[in-house]
């Protein structure tokens, strides 16, 4: 909801006379918060109902967190704009403000993300990972109710809510590689709505566009979903783009990792090249594994 409101405010700032209406849509993932995302069918459950409403004409614009959007969009829909990226990092929220390197052996850490689980267990195999779903405050409260040592969340959500004071540590992307699209909002419309497309193009942030192009191309090439842990993070520095990708198993025991660098105009080619490199290194075999209740 806050994401949609932030986009509405940008539109009104551009055109003060513009009338907007926020239409809340509860997705299947919202309604079944005690069920693992993998069991619901993957990350597409966060956007399916919203995209159906968009195709049916119930809404004209959909605002998504791009880390929740599958690599392929439904026919008839188009992503037309990406505002400036929020902080892409993950954060650690702990009991007693303990930092990652200070966690006790066997610490209980909550997360619903296979990507985070993979990287946590690869770094500290003795951690006890506790599955976690729900909104941000629900997850934070579980530190007490479920006797957790801490939880991992996206920095973007904490910052949008203004809860910086609850963060124990911002995790460097070299320690916890973010999900493709993390911190990025995507503006989706019907592909035949040319007038609306033109009105929304001003929302595009050049650096964010280059980064998300690389990350989305990376995901498309891998063809992976929520069932396999995948991390992919691109960062534009001047005219050079650097991207790191990881594919692994949920227990962190198998992991392939690589980094590519190139010019800003080669974003999509870089994402595809990184995916190809990981596939050649063993990601193809990992992606072929069928995981059950992981």
Per-domain residue ranges for the chain? Answer: 1-85+183-204, 90-171, 206-294
Regarding the domain delimited by 90-171, which CATH topology (the fold level of the hierarchy) does it fall under?
D-Maltodextrin-Binding Protein; domain 2 (3.40.190)
* Res 280: pLDDT: 97
Collect all residues with Cβ–Cβ distance below 8 Å to 117 and sequence separation of at least 6.
111, 129, 229, 250, 252
pLDDT-derived band at 271, boundaries 50, 70, 90: very high
As a whole number of angstroms, the distance between CA 188 and CA 176 comes to 28
Percentage of the chain lying above the pLDDT 70 cut: 90
pTM of the model: 0.90
* Res 291: pLDDT: 54
Across 148-153, average pLDDT? 98
As a whole number of angstroms, the distance between CA 280 and CA 294 comes to 25
- CATH number for region 1-85+183-204: 3.40.190.10
pLDDT-derived band at 115, boundaries 50, 70, 90: very high
Q: Which of 147-151, 197-201, 288-292 is least confident?
A: 288-292
Residue 59's alpha-carbon distances to 20, 25, 63, 83, 256, in angstroms, are 11, 10, 11, 20, 41
Is the pLDDT reported for residue 43 higher than 90? no
DSSP letters spanning 273-289: HHHHHHIIIIIHHHHHP
Is the pLDDT reported for residue 274 higher than 50? yes
Is the dihedral angle over the CA atoms 164, 14, 191, 26 positive or is it negative? positive
Is the pLDDT reported for residue 109 higher than 70? yes
Regarding the domain delimited by 206-294, which CATH topology (the fold level of the hierarchy) does it fall under?
Double Stranded RNA Binding Domain (3.30.160)
Is the pLDDT reported for residue 168 higher than 60? yes
Across 109-135, average pLDDT? 95
Mean pLDDT of the chain: 91
As given in the structure block, the two tokens for residue 137 are 């405050």
Model confidence over 199-248: pLDDT tens digits? 999 999 999 999 999 999 999 999 855 478 999 999 999 999 999 999 99
As a whole number of angstroms, the distance between CA 205 and CA 86 comes to 11
Are 262 and 237 within 8 A, CB to CB?
Answer: no
* 162 Ramachandran zone, left/alpha/beta (phi>0; psi -120 to 50): left
DSSP secondary structure code for residue 49 in this structure:
H
* Res 137: pLDDT: 95
Model confidence over 49-108: pLDDT tens digits? 999 999 999 999 999 999 999 999 999 999 999 999 999 999 999 999 999 999 999 999
Establish how many alpha carbons lie within 13 A of residue 273's alpha carbon, considering only the half-sphere containing its beta carbon. Answer: 14
1-85+183-204 with 206-294: one CATH topology?
A: no
Residue in the structure block whose two tokens are 């909104």: 135
pLDDT-derived band at 294, boundaries 50, 70, 90: very low
* Res 150: pLDDT: 98
Give the residue numbers annotated as catalytic, written as ranges.
68
Is the pLDDT reported for residue 32 higher than 60? no
């Amino acid at each position: 909801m806050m994401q949609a409101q932030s986009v509405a405010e940008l539109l009104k700032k551009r055109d003060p006379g513009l009338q907007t209406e926020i239409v809340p849509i509860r997705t299947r993932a919202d309604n079944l918060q005690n069920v693992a995302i993998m069991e619901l069918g993957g990350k597409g459950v966060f956007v399916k109902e919203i995209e159906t409403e968009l195709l049916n004409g119930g809404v004209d614009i959909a605002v998504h967190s791009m880390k929740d959007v599958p690599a392929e969009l439904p026919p008839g829909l188009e992503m037309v704009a990406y505002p400036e990226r929020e902080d892409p990092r993950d954060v650690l929220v702990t009991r007693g403000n303990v930092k990652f390197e200070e966690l006790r052996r066997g610490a209980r850490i909550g997360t619903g993300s296979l990507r985070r689980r993979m990287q946590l267990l690869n770094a500290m195999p003795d951690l006890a990972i506790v599955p976690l779903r729900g909104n941000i405050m629900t997850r934070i409260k579980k530190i007490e109710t479920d006797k957790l040592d801490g939880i991992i969340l996206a920095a973007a959500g904490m910052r949008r809510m203004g809860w910086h004071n609850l963060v124990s540590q911002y995790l460097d992307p070299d320690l916890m590689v973010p999900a493709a699209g993390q911190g990025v909002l995507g503006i989706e419309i019907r592909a035949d709505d040319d007038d609306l497309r033109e009105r929304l193009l001003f929302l595009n942030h050049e650096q964010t566009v280059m980064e998300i192009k690389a990350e989305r191309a990376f995901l498309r090439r891998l063809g992976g979903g929520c069932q396999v842990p995948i991390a992919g993070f691109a960062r534009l520095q001047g005219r050079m783009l650097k991207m790191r990708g990881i594919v692994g198993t949920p227990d962190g025991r198998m992991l392939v990792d690589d980094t590519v660098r190139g010019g800003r105009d080669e974003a999509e080619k870089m994402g595809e090249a990184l995916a190809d490199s990981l596939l050649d290194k063993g990601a193809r075999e990992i992606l072929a594994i069928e995981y059950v209740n992981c």
